[in-house]
Structure 1
């Protein structure tokens, strides 16, 4: 079997790219080792930057997002029990974000792929890359018990940090930059109305808290926790009590409690690999970088990668022009590092670190107070939160 582009991984990066190439008339096949239900069911991000929402619209896959998503023109920060709002829409000249869960985005991408005939092979086992240093790469895999081979011109690795694509790059051909944070996030989903109309990021002496939502009737809440915590140690009653403390009395007064139906602990880390290309292999999304969830950049960064890569592949496959693919890594990394910086800064500002001294805590509070009363500081935060421009 032959195609122009083999896409490994059917997460956000892989599926957005598949739709972009299909729209551009470039042949591509997506290989995914998991089932559709597994990929679609992963609980992930819920805030779409302006660029991500715009790309869904350009692909004609935005109908359900427009009907069910929640437009946010602002975001709230809390400290010392008080909450203040940053008017992102005014500060950025009209930009907003869309609250629409990654699970819903994946469902829309998969449904559209089926309707449009975008080929996706789920449960592709033993995927291996060959000849990525040559101009005739190919991919081998097993599907339905049969060995298969896919010849292609380019391979795009969208299969995450532990996938086969990053591992296929020879040692010494890439450099990794990484920071592992000494805490995690304990998150729950509950079918209760959100505590506020817009997200609240709270800095408290006990640790960070985030109040977010998936809809007007489903809430997503997080608490900073140590890495040795166990979910069993956090029954719902304890979670709600601690959340109320960290959000402060003003927000807690509007908190609706209820049974959680999903509860998990996620570690936080930042990592970037450079370059994001090795000859005919290109990395996108989590295969190339990880961000802590504080700035809501994970899925959005994956989308910005392929928003840059898609036109470059089209130019190469349809017109024989290689400038776009030759400069992809540098252009993508320029935006990746800006998003990493924002996520690192926001994480450092809002969390309590194990080695934090009273001076460090006072500096956090001072910076939050400065942001509260500075239009310039709020503008910088707003510009980063809604998403910096994508230089395609």
Structure 2
């Protein structure tokens, strides 16, 4: 087989890149090691920045999101038994976020790919990348028992943190930066109508908690826990008791209880690799960087990456210039490090530490008070949360 751009991974980054390229007349093939069912049902957070929503709409992928997504103009910070609203839209000139599950975004993109007869190989095995330093790289894989060699001009590694793409780059070329946090999130889905219209981030002496939602009938909730937490020690009743304790406040709001349909523990880490390109291989999304979930930046960074990469490929194929491709890594890393810092800031501020002195936790509380009372501090939080505008 022959294509212009081989894309490894059918997550949000890889699928969106294929659509953006198609709209510019650039051919691509997507190779994914997991099944379609796995990709469409892998539950991940779905807080979409304004720029992500705009990009999906521009790509013709936003119809169901516009109908089923939940538009939010602010968030609530809960501490010292009081709710403090950050009005993001008024602080950012009308920008907002949309709550729409990552798996729903993936379903929309796979359905669109099928409508356009896009080449998508699910359940590929023995996937390997070759000659990435040459002008004729290859992707080799097995699909339905048949071995394939995919010749291409470029490879986009969109296969996540544990994928093969980053490992194909010589180890002495990459620099990695990592922080592993001393806590994790125990997350649940509950069949209960959300009791608030916006997300609630709670800082409590017992630990952080987050109120979110998946639909008008499903609530998503998280609890700060140990990284080695055992789920079998958390009965449904214990989870609800802990949630209600951490969300306790003087204004009468609490999440609605309901049957818990899913629970899991999410570890928290920050990770960045530099550079995000080597030879004819370009990394995007989780293959190049990981953020803790507190700042809701994971999928949004992936969208930002492939937006830059698609424009770089368009410049290469339509104008004959490789300047944007050469600058891809440095361009993306500016936004990546800003998002890493914001995620670190939100995580550090909202999670009480049980391994440090009371002094440190008082600093966290002071930061919360400042953010909720200062127009300048609230504006900085809002600007980063809704997503910085793209530099076109």
The aligned counterpart of 1:3 is 3
The aligned counterpart of 1:15 is 15
Shift of 1:252: 6.6
Structure 2 counterparts to residues 107-256 of structure 1, below 5 A? 107-250=107-250, 253-256=253-256
User: Larger deviation: 293-302 or 113-122?
Assistant: 113-122
Rounded Cα–Cα distance in structure 1 between residues aligned with 2:113 and 2:199: 32
Shift of 1:250: 4.3
Q: Deviations over 1:146-178 (max 9, x none)?
A: 110000000000001111110100111010000
Q: Deviations over 1:311-364 (max 9, x none)?
A: 101111233210010000000000000000000010000012232211111111
Shift of 1:18: 0.4
The aligned counterpart of 2:96 is 96
The aligned counterpart of 2:29 is 29
Matched residue count: 392
The aligned counterpart of 2:106 is 106
Task: Answer yes or no: is the 8 Å Cα contact 1:77–1:83 preserved in 2.
Answer: yes
Shift of 1:391: 2.4
Rounded Cα–Cα distance in structure 1 between residues aligned with 2:87 and 2:63: 26
Is 1:372–2:372 an aligned residue pair? yes
Task: Answer yes or no: is the 8 Å Cα contact 1:49–1:385 preserved in 2.
Answer: yes
Task: Answer yes or no: is the 8 Å Cα contact 1:158–1:283 preserved in 2.
Answer: yes
Q: Which runs of 4 or more aligned residues in structure 1 lie more than 6 Å from their structure 2 counterparts after TM superposition? A: none
The aligned counterpart of 2:336 is 336
Shift of 1:83: 1.1
Task: Answer yes or no: is the 8 Å Cα contact 1:203–1:350 preserved in 2.
Answer: yes
User: Larger deviation: 111-120 or 252-261?
Assistant: 252-261
Shift of 1:390: 2.0
Change (3 A) 1:41 1:251: farther
Rounded Cα–Cα distance in structure 1 between residues aligned with 2:250 and 2:235: 24
RMSD: 1.0
Rounded Cα–Cα distance in structure 1 between residues aligned with 2:249 and 2:375: 26
The aligned counterpart of 2:301 is 301
Task: Answer yes or no: is the 8 Å Cα contact 2:190–2:261 preserved in 1.
Answer: yes
Ranges in structure 1 where 5+ consecutive residues have no aligned partner = none
Structure 2 counterparts to residues 349-360 of structure 1, below 5 A? 349-360=349-360
Task: Answer yes or no: is the 8 Å Cα contact 2:353–2:361 preserved in 1.
Answer: no
Ranges in structure 2 where 5+ consecutive residues have no aligned partner = none
Change (3 A) 1:21 1:218: same
SS of 1:345's partner is helix
SS of 2:156's partner is strand
Instruction: Give the TM-score taking structure 2 as reference length.
Output: 0.98
Instruction: Give the TM-score taking structure 1 as reference length.
Output: 0.98
Rounded Cα–Cα distance in structure 2 between residues aligned with 1:213 and 1:251: 20
Q: Deviations over 1:21-64 (max 9, x none)?
A: 00000000000000111011111011100011001110111111
Structure 2 counterparts to residues 271-286 of structure 1, below 5 A? 271-286=271-286
Shift of 1:195: 2.8
Shift of 1:249: 2.9
SS of 2:325's partner is helix
Rounded Cα–Cα distance in structure 1 between residues aligned with 2:68 and 2:248: 29
Task: Answer yes or no: is the 8 Å Cα contact 1:19–1:59 preserved in 2.
Answer: yes
Shift of 1:255: 2.3
Rounded Cα–Cα distance in structure 1 between residues aligned with 2:370 and 2:122: 50
Change (3 A) 1:54 1:157: same
Rounded Cα–Cα distance in structure 2 between residues aligned with 1:226 and 1:366: 24
The aligned counterpart of 1:82 is 82
Task: Answer yes or no: is the 8 Å Cα contact 2:244–2:254 preserved in 1.
Answer: no
Q: Deviations over 1:364-391 (max 9, x none)?
A: 1111111111010000000000001222
